[in-house]
Amino acid sequence: MSSWLDEVRWDAQGLVTAIAQDAHSQRILMVAYMNRESLQLTAQTGIAHYFSRSRQRLWKKGEASGHLQTVSELRLDCDGDVIVMQIAQAGGIACHTGRESCLYRKLVDEQWVVTDAVLKDPDAIYGGHTGH
């Protein structure tokens, strides 16, 4: 039991929100969840690990796509339920849609407008399987 992990305020499902921010551009690339195991692995290995709520399992980001995230900093928020990571994104693609960032829609005149191009076809990334 590591005490730094005990300071995290895990929710009823044992998760915290985890934000991946590009260490260079400071753009927010994705937001997902971590359980205790994934946060510990992230800190130990320096590679971002999440917990997939849809698949209910540990998820090493990039395990299918090769789009690994190398973590240079971990921060915890004031009430302990948010982690922010400074990362370097392999391939420059964080989103399963093949875009740099998952935040590719912007509100303009009461419409969500896509602002980012698809850099790589998801079929080419995942070989026909969707995923991160």
Closest CA to 59 of 67, 82, 72: 67
User: Could you say whether residue 95 binds a copy of itself (CB under 8 A)?
Assistant: yes
Residue 75 has a CB neighbour count (10 Å cut-off) of 11
User: Could you say whether residue 12 binds a copy of itself (CB under 8 A)?
Assistant: no
Stretch that binds a copy of itself, among 62-70, 105-113, 123-131 (CB under 8 A): 105-113
Q: For the chain, list the strands marked E by DSSP.
A: 16-22, 28-34, 49-52, 57-60, 69-76, 82-89, 105-108, 111-114
Give the x/- contact pattern for a copy of itself in 31-70, rule: CB under 8 A: x-----------x---------------------------
Residue 109 marked ligand-binding:
no
CB of 66 to a copy of itself, least distance (A): 19
Residue 47 per-residue DSSP state: B
Count of chain residues binding a copy of itself (CB under 8 A): 36
Positions touching a copy of itself (CB under 8 A) are 2-4, 7, 17, 19, 21, 25-28, 30-31, 43, 73-79, 82, 84, 95-97, 99, 102-107, 110-112
